[in-house]
Structure 1
Amino acid sequence: MKVVFIHFCFEDYSIELINSLSEYVDLTVIQPEHIYAKCRQYIKSTVKVEYFKKYRIRDPRNFFSMTSMMRMVKKISPDILHVQETNDPWYDLTLFTNRSYPLVTTIHDVYRHPGDRDLIPGSDFTRRIAIFRSKQLIVHGDKQKKQLHKRFPELSSRVNVIPHGELGTLYKQFIDQHHSIPREQNSLLFFGRIWPYKGLSYLLEAMSLVIKEIPDVKLTIAGRGENLDQYSHILSDKKHFTVLNRFIPPAEVTELFLQSTAVVLPYVEASQSGVASLAFGLGTPIIASNIGGLSEVIHHSKDGLLVPPRDVHQLAKSILYLLKNHQIQDQIQVATSARCKTDLKWSNIASQTLDVYQKLGGAATLSI
Structure 2
Amino acid sequence: MEKNADLLHIVEPGGRGGVYQHVLGAIQNGTYDKYSEVVIHTAKDAELTPAFENVAYCHCMRYQRMGPRGLRAVASLFWVLAFMLPHLFVSMLRRPGEWEVQGLFGKGIYTIFVIIPKLGGHKTTFVPHNSFSRNNSKMEIELMRWALRLASRVVVFVDAEINKFDNVRILERRRLWQYLLKVDPATIEEWKERVGASGRPVVAFIGQLREDKNPELLLEAASSISNPLTLVFAGQDKGAVQSIRNFALASHHERIVIDSYLDSVDFQALIMVSTVVVCPYEVASQSGVLALATQLGTPVIASNVGGLSEQADVVFEVGGKDAAAALASALNSFLS
Q: How does 1:335-350 map to 2 (within 5 A)?
A: none
Q: Which of 128, 141, 163 in structure 2 is aligned with 1:107?
A: 128
Alpha carbons 1:188, 1:219 under 8 Å: kept: yes
Q: In the TM superposition, what whole-angstrom CA distance separates every residue of 1:311-350 from its partner, at most 9, and x where no partner exists?
A: 11121111112112xxxxxxxxxxxxxxxxxxxxxxxxxx
Alpha carbons 1:219, 1:242 under 8 Å: kept: yes
Q: Tell me the CA shift for residue 25 of structure 1.
A: 1.1
Structure 1 residues 96 and 14, CA gap change in structure 2 (3 angstroms):
closer
Which residue matches 1:54? 62
Q: Which secondary structure does the structure 2 equivalent of 1:93 belong to?
A: helix
1:127 has 2:144 as partner: yes
In 2, Cα distance between the equivalents of 1:290 and 1:97? 37
Which residue matches 1:16? 25
Q: How does 1:284-295 map to 2 (within 5 A)?
A: 284-295=298-309
Q: Which of 70, 90, 95 in structure 1 is aligned with 2:89?
A: 70
Structure 1 residues 171 and 28, CA gap change in structure 2 (3 angstroms):
closer
1:187 has 2:202 as partner: yes
Q: Tell me the CA shift for residue 204 of structure 1.
A: 0.9
Structure 1 residues 147 and 135, CA gap change in structure 2 (3 angstroms):
same
Which residue matches 1:143? 160
In 2, Cα distance between the equivalents of 1:259 and 1:305? 19
Which residue matches 2:241? 228
Structure 1 residues 136 and 208, CA gap change in structure 2 (3 angstroms):
same
In 2, Cα distance between the equivalents of 1:34 and 1:290? 37
Give the % identical residues: 20
Matching residue's letter, 1:87: F
- Which structure has more helix as a fraction of its residues? 1
1:262 has 2:276 as partner: yes
In 1, Cα distance between the equivalents of 2:38 and 2:315? 40
Q: Which of 105, 108, 111 in structure 2 is aligned with 1:92?
A: 111
Q: How does 1:318-333 map to 2 (within 5 A)?
A: 318-324=330-336
Structure 1 residues 95 and 251, CA gap change in structure 2 (3 angstroms):
closer
Alpha carbons 1:235, 1:242 under 8 Å: kept: no
1:277 has 2:306 as partner: no
Q: In the TM superposition, what whole-angstrom CA distance separates every residue of 1:92-135 from its partner, at most 9, and x where no partner exists?
A: 235556422111111200112368xxx8x954443333222111
Q: Which secondary structure does the structure 1 equivalent of 2:9 belong to?
A: strand
Matching residue's letter, 1:190: F
Q: Which secondary structure does the structure 2 equivalent of 1:280 belong to?
A: helix
1:39 has 2:48 as partner: yes
Alpha carbons 2:101, 2:110 under 8 Å: kept: no
Structure 1 residues 201 and 73, CA gap change in structure 2 (3 angstroms):
same
Structure 1 residues 263 and 113, CA gap change in structure 2 (3 angstroms):
same
Q: Which secondary structure does the structure 2 equivalent of 1:31 belong to?
A: strand
Which residue matches 1:197? 212
Alpha carbons 1:202, 1:266 under 8 Å: kept: yes
Matching residue's letter, 1:312: A
Which residue matches 2:69? none
Q: Bigger relative contact order, structure 1 or 2, given CA contacts below 8 A and separation 6+?
A: 1
Give the TM-score normalised by structure 2.
Answer: 0.80
Which residue matches 2:67? none
Q: Tell me the CA shift for residue 22 of structure 1.
A: 4.8
In 2, Cα distance between the equivalents of 1:75 and 1:285? 47
Q: Structure 2, unaligned stretches of length 5 or more?
A: 1-5, 64-71
Q: Tell me the CA shift for residue 141 of structure 1.
A: 1.6
In 2, Cα distance between the equivalents of 1:96 and 1:82? 11
RMSD (Å) for aligned C-alpha atoms: 2.7
Matching residue's letter, 2:55: V
Matching residue's letter, 2:42: P
Structure 1 residues 70 and 221, CA gap change in structure 2 (3 angstroms):
same
Structure 1 residues 11 and 61, CA gap change in structure 2 (3 angstroms):
closer
Q: Which secondary structure does the structure 2 equivalent of 1:39 belong to?
A: coil
Give the TM-score normalised by structure 1.
Answer: 0.73
Q: Structure 1, unaligned stretches of length 5 or more?
A: 299-303, 325-368
In 1, Cα distance between the equivalents of 2:160 and 2:316? 18
In 1, Cα distance between the equivalents of 2:181 and 2:291? 13
Alpha carbons 1:93, 1:126 under 8 Å: kept: no
Q: Tell me the CA shift for residue 34 of structure 1.
A: 2.6
1:6 has 2:6 as partner: no
In 2, Cα distance between the equivalents of 1:70 and 1:57? 23
Aligned residues: 300
Alpha carbons 1:114, 1:197 under 8 Å: kept: no
